[in-house]
Amino acid sequence: MQQHQPRKRFGQSFLVDPNYVARIVAAIAPRPGDNIVEIGPGLAALTRPLIAAAGHVNAIEIDRDLAARLAAEFAPEALSLTVGDALEFDYGALGPALRVVGNLPYNISSPLLFRIAGFESQIADIHVMLQREVVARMTAAPATPDYGRLSVMLQARFRVTRLFTVPAGAFRPAPKVESAVARLVPLGPSRPHIADQALFARIVAAAFGQRRKTLRNALSTLCDEATLHAAGIDPGARGETFDVGAFVRLTNLVAERSPGT
C-alpha cells in the first residue's frame, strides 16, 4: 500500500508519522456514530483510526488509484467513498452535525475552505491540516501582516484555533513547508448577522484586493465615503486595520441603503 507514486497535480503528500497521526485523532476526539467526512484520505493514515473510533467515515478522494485501494481495504459499511473533487462535493447531502477532517492540498486550500464554509449551518466542527502560513492567515488578528480576506471570511462564521504545527519530515514526500492543524467551530448564536452574504464577500474581497489602497478607493464601486463614515470606518484607512464587526456593519448599511445590491 505504500508504493503509491505521489501525484504533483493533486498536491499529494502523505502523513506517515504515527505520533502526529495520534495527535490529530486525539484533537478530533471521534466518538461512535459521529458524522465524519474526510477530505483526501490518501493512504488512510487518519481513516483507519477514525473508522475504529466512529464506526463509519464518509470520504472524498480524487485519485482513482487511491480510491481503489481504499475500497479494497474497507467494507462499504465502514467507508462511504466518493471518487471526485472536494471542491465540487455537496457536503450538505451528508446531513447535520457534520465533522470535517482533512489534510488539505496546499494548492486549493483557500477555495476549499470557502466551499466548506458555505455549509456552516450543518457543520459541527472542522479539523484540517494546511500549510502553516495559511493557518496563520486564518487565525490572524486585525492590523497584523497575516490578516486578510481569508481571516475575515472565516472568522465571520467560525471560531478558528491553531492547534499545533507538523514538521515537513512527518510526510512523504516531505513538502518544502511546515504544516499546522487548525480547528474551526461554527459561531452558532454568536455569529454576526450579515444581511447579504454575497455583498459581504464582495466588500471583503475588494478591501483586500490591493492592500495598499485606502478603503475610499478600494470600495469606491460599492459604497461612498458617507456610508463608510456612517459605519464608523475611516475612508483613509486600509482594510487590514478593521475587524470582522466593522465589515459586517458596513455590509449591513450598504444593503440597507441599496436594496437589491
Note whether residue 2 is domain-resident.
Answer: no
Report pLDDT for 142. 97
Q: Cβ distance 150 to 170 under 8 Å?
A: no
Strand-pair partners of 101: 38, 127
Task: Give me the residue label for grid cell 452574504.
Answer: 197
Angular region, 101: left φ>0, alpha ψ -120 to 50, beta rest: beta
Domain that holds residue 233: 197-257
Note whether residue 225 is domain-resident.
Answer: yes
User: Total domain count for the chain?
Assistant: 2
Note whether residue 127 is domain-resident.
Answer: yes
Question: Within this chain, do residues 180 and 129 fall inside the same structural domain, yes or no?
Answer: yes
SS3 15: strand
Q: What is the pLDDT of residues 66-122, one digit of tens each?
A: 999 999 999 999 999 999 999 999 999 999 999 999 998 888 899 999 999 999 999
Q: Where are the alpha helices (DSSP H) in 55-193?
A: 64-73, 109-117, 132-139, 149-155
Residue-averaged pLDDT of the chain: 93
Report pLDDT for 211. 80
Question: Within this chain, do residues 142 and 202 fall inside the same structural domain, yes or no?
Answer: no
C-alpha grid cell for residue 250? 458596513
Report pLDDT for 173. 81
Q: Where are the alpha helices (DSSP H) in the chain?
A: 18-28, 47-54, 64-73, 109-117, 132-139, 149-155, 197-209, 215-218, 225-230, 244-257
Last residue of a domain, one of 165, 189, 213: 189
Q: Is the pLDDT of residue 6 over 80?
A: no
Q: What is the pLDDT of residues 212-249, one digit of tens each?
A: 899 999 999 999 999 999 999 999 999 999 999 999 99
Question: Within this chain, do residues 126 and 184 fall inside the same structural domain, yes or no?
Answer: yes
Q: Cβ distance 54 to 31 under 8 Å?
A: yes
- Cα angle 152, 131, 17; round to 5: 140
At 8, the pLDDT band (50, 70, 90 cuts) reads: very low
Report pLDDT for 98. 98
Tell me the C-alpha to C-alpha distance, in Å, between residue 53 and each of 33, 45, 125, 184, 222: 9, 14, 17, 21, 49
Tell me the C-alpha to C-alpha distance, in Å, between residue 52 and each of 31, 34, 65, 213, 232: 9, 12, 23, 52, 52
Q: Cβ distance 99 to 39 under 8 Å?
A: no
Residue type, 251: T
Question: Within this chain, do residues 141 and 122 fall inside the same structural domain, yes or no?
Answer: yes
**Helix axis angle, 197-209 relative to 244-257, nearest 10°?**
120
Are β-strands 57-61 and 35-39 bridged in parallel, bridged antiparallel, or unpaired? parallel
Last residue of a domain, one of 189, 222, 243: 189
Q: Is the pLDDT of residue 7 over 50?
A: no
Question: Within this chain, do residues 133 and 166 fall inside the same structural domain, yes or no?
Answer: yes
Q: What is the pLDDT of residues 176-217, one digit of tens each?
A: 889 999 999 999 999 999 999 999 999 999 999 988 899 999
Q: Is the pLDDT of residue 260 over 60?
A: no
Question: Within this chain, do residues 180 and 237 fall inside the same structural domain, yes or no?
Answer: no
Q: What is the pLDDT of residues 134-175, one digit of tens each?
A: 999 999 999 999 999 999 999 999 999 999 999 999 998 888
At 1, the pLDDT band (50, 70, 90 cuts) reads: very low
Question: Within this chain, do residues 106 and 229 fall inside the same structural domain, yes or no?
Answer: no
Question: Within this chain, do residues 227 and 102 fall inside the same structural domain, yes or no?
Answer: no
Question: pTM for the whole thing?
Answer: 0.93
Question: Within this chain, do residues 88 and 202 fall inside the same structural domain, yes or no?
Answer: no
Note whether residue 1 is domain-resident.
Answer: no
Question: Within this chain, do residues 112 and 27 fall inside the same structural domain, yes or no?
Answer: yes
Q: Is the pLDDT of residue 10 over 50?
A: no
Q: Is the pLDDT of residue 12 over 80?
A: no
Question: Within this chain, do residues 246 and 206 fall inside the same structural domain, yes or no?
Answer: yes
Last residue of a domain, one of 173, 189, 205: 189
Instruction: Decide: residue 80, CB within 10 A, 0-12 exposed, 13-18 middle, 19+ buried.
Output: middle
